[in-house]
Amino acid sequence: MKNDSSNFNNYHISKPAVVVAMQGSTYGMGFAQVYDKAGFSSFSERMIPYIDQQLERLNIQPQSVLDLACGTGTAAILLAKRGLRVYGVDGSQHMLEIAKQKAAEEKVHVEFLLSDMRSFTIPEKVDLAVSLYDSLNYIVKLKELVSVFVRVREHLKENGCFMFDINTLYNMKYGWDNRFSVFWMTDDIFVIESNVHDQGRRTTTKSFTFFVKREDELFERILEEHTERGYTANEIEGALTDAGLELVSCYECFTFTKPQLEAGRIFCIGKNLP
Ligand SMILES: C[S@@+](CC[C@H](N)C(=O)[O-])C[C@H]1O[C@@H](n2cnc3c(N)ncnc32)[C@H](O)[C@@H]1O
């Protein structure tokens, strides 16, 4: 079949083939629908026991939690299942739609709010805020990261904590630098990923082309573009301080070890001191 660009959305090559070319976006509908299936939700599942250990060490028993940039709601739902009052804020309505469906299926209540993390409000101050899986790296300007931290502080009770992981500048430069990969994520999801690092902006832009097998054996193509900025531990500490939060701990993520220079992802705890 010849390539007829006027009918690109229905262009069949041969079976199995690409049948739908969705518009490139960031956390668009197609990606939201496959996010969990592709395995992206497993990161926050893994973070929950780690956060539990951190809470235990700090002797904190939160009753109310904010999951900032909650995505498809995996962590928020796990926390709500414990009887905590949970708010989930995210900037993608498609991710939130999946989160709401999952919460309904699990029969738990999470108050999900569609909002940018630089300007969100929730109806009460909480004991704990979390932001998981690179979410803060989507804030690509340092002063906007401070704005996010200010929003968080304004929604934390006195002595409330903010726990988050974040990719370092080192990871952006050396881990994700101009990498090109193609691989099967699952038996049904194939991805082409290409990274472009911008040294000046300290960002890496990941362009993903996912091919997702449908029931009729044809493949749906989903295009996504994600830009993340890397931060140094000093920049993060400075941003927390500027926002009125105190950095109480910083570790290599999933460990209790102080971050080395080559740490790719760090886990930080900021506190809203009186
Ligand atoms: C890698 S996902 C992580 C989602 C979830 N925390 C998890 O662990 O699976 C990043 C999330 O950040 C959200 N996000 C990115 N920029 C945002 C912004 N400026 N305001 C609110 N949410 C944002 C995206 O919509 C996406 O759901």
- For atom 4 of ligand 1, which residue has the closest CA? 71
Which parts of the chain sit beneath pLDDT 50? 1-17, 19, 21
* d(CA 73, ligand 1 centre) in Å: 10
> Measuring from atom 26 of ligand 1, which residue has the nearest CA?
71
According to the model, what pLDDT value does residue 237 have?
97
**Ligand 1 contact, 91 CB (< 6 A):** yes
pLDDT at 6: 35
How far, in Å, CA of 216 to CA of 233, rounded?
48
> Angle at which helices 233-242 and 142-154 pack, to 10 degrees?
50
| Residue 136 DSSP one-character state | G
Amino acid letter, 135:
S
Tell me, what's the pLDDT at 23?
Answer: 52
Q: Which domains does the chain have, with CATH numbers?
A: 42-167+231-271 (3.40.50.150)
What are the backbone angles phi and psi of residue 155, rounded to the nearest 5°? -110, 10
Q: How far is the CA of 90 from the centre of ligand 1 (A)?
A: 6
CA proximity to 221, closest of 236, 208, 240, 203:
208
- What is the rounded CA–CA span in Å between residue 105 and residue 70? 17
Q: What is the identity of the amino acid at 231? A: Y
Ligand 1 site-directed mutation target among 92, 117, 122, 135, most atoms within 8 Å of CB: 135
Ligand 1 center from residue 82 Cα (angstroms): 23
The pLDDT of residue 24: 63
Q: What tens digit of pLDDT does each residue of 96-154 get?
A: 999 999 999 999 999 999 999 999 999 999 999 999 999 999 999 999 999 999 999 99
77/21 Cα distance (integer angstroms): 32
117 lines ligand 1 (CB under 6 A): yes
The verdict on the CB of residue 27 being under 6 Å from ligand 1 is yes
* Phi and psi, residue 188, nearest 5°: -115, -5
| DSSP bridge pairs for 212 | 189, 220
Kindly give the distance from the C-alpha atom of residue 35 to the centroid of ligand 1, in angstroms, as a whole number: 12
- Decide whether any atom of ligand 1 lies within 6 Å of the 95 Cβ: yes
Pairing of strands 126-131, 156-167: parallel
From the CA of 241, how far away is ligand 1's center (Å)?
Answer: 23
Q: What percent of the chain shows pLDDT beyond 70?
A: 91
Q: Is 103 helix (H, G, I), strand (E, B) or coil?
A: helix
